[in-house]
Amino acid sequence: STYENILLERHGRVGVITLNRPEALNALNDALMHDVVAAATSLDRDTRIGAIIITGSERAFAAGADIKEMAPQTYMDMYAADWFAGWADLAAVRTPVIAAVAGHALGGGCELAMLCDFILAADTAKFGQPEIKLGVIPGIGGSQRLTRAIGKAKAMEMILTGRTMGAEEAERCGLVARIVPAADLLADALATATAIASRSLPIALLAKEAVNAAFETTLAEGIRFERRLFHSTFATEDQKEGMAAFVEKRTPAFTNR
């Protein structure tokens, strides 16, 4: 691949992006951000790809934004470069994105995981927003996404104290979808992503769009939006195929039409 800070592989209809700066526990520097965003947007444009996994190493998903790169920056450097704004292009990816997290997911690492559609956590995963210890605050959406994920009390406590939480607490409070033994993390993430990618891609995109609307609008508007999207699924061949296959007791052959 042409990327220096990540590995990019395709397993059937699943794209796997592995953060690969082991010497810095996958700290998210500017170059790594550009690699992740470029790889994810290229997978998003590839209609053969039905799901994307973002993962790190056994030791660290990512230990945060790169502190050594940020340390000398001034306010005007940050403002002029609109530091971290590039991550918005990852949030805009339409294909389902799974974060498979083992080890440290701290600061920007936790924020990157939350930017994905859901998190599968190894039993070794540790989540936290320790920015306060460095004299800064979360800057890739952590104050917003953590609060929406786990509620005000826990988000405030995490962000004000900088403490980390383990996988069990993270599952209990709704930050992660599921805990998996560390040795099985990638296999489980691949099986999960493959299951998603085996269905109709356009219908998966509608489903993702509907869930995401819950974070952007009122309940009444969200339900109206969902119903319109639901009605629109009946304009697809995949709805005809999916329901016919159920009636005929066979596996559906979706065509993404």
Report residue 69 as tokens: 């790169």
* Residue 215 per-residue DSSP state: T
Q: How far is the CB of 209 from ligand HXC (least distance, A)?
A: 27
Instruction: Count how many Cα atoms sit within 13 Å of the Cα of residue 136 in the half-sphere of its side chain.
Output: 19
Q: Nearer Cβ to ligand HXC, position 38 or 134? A: 134
By C-beta, is 90 or 190 nearer to ligand HXC?
90
Is 108 one of the catalytic residues? yes
Binding positions for ligand HXC, 11-70, rule CB under 6 A: 24-25, 27, 63-68
What string of H, E and C letters represents the secondary structure of 88-115? HHHHCCCCCEEEEECCEEECHHHHHHHH
Give yes or no for a contact between 107 and 133, defined as CB atoms under 8 angstroms apart: no
Can you give the length of the chain in residues? Answer: 257
The least distance separating ligand HXC from the CB of residue 130, rounded to whole angstroms, comes to 4
Q: Which is nearer to ligand HXC, 58 or 184 (CB)?
A: 58
Question: Of 90-149, which residues contact ligand HXC (CB under 6 A)?
Answer: 104, 106-108, 130-131, 134, 136, 138-140
Q: Quote the longest CA-to-CA distance of the chain.
A: 65
Q: Which residues bind ligand HXC (CB under 6 A)?
A: 24-25, 27, 63-68, 104, 106-108, 130-131, 134, 136, 138-140
What positions carry a catalytic annotation? 65, 108, 111, 131
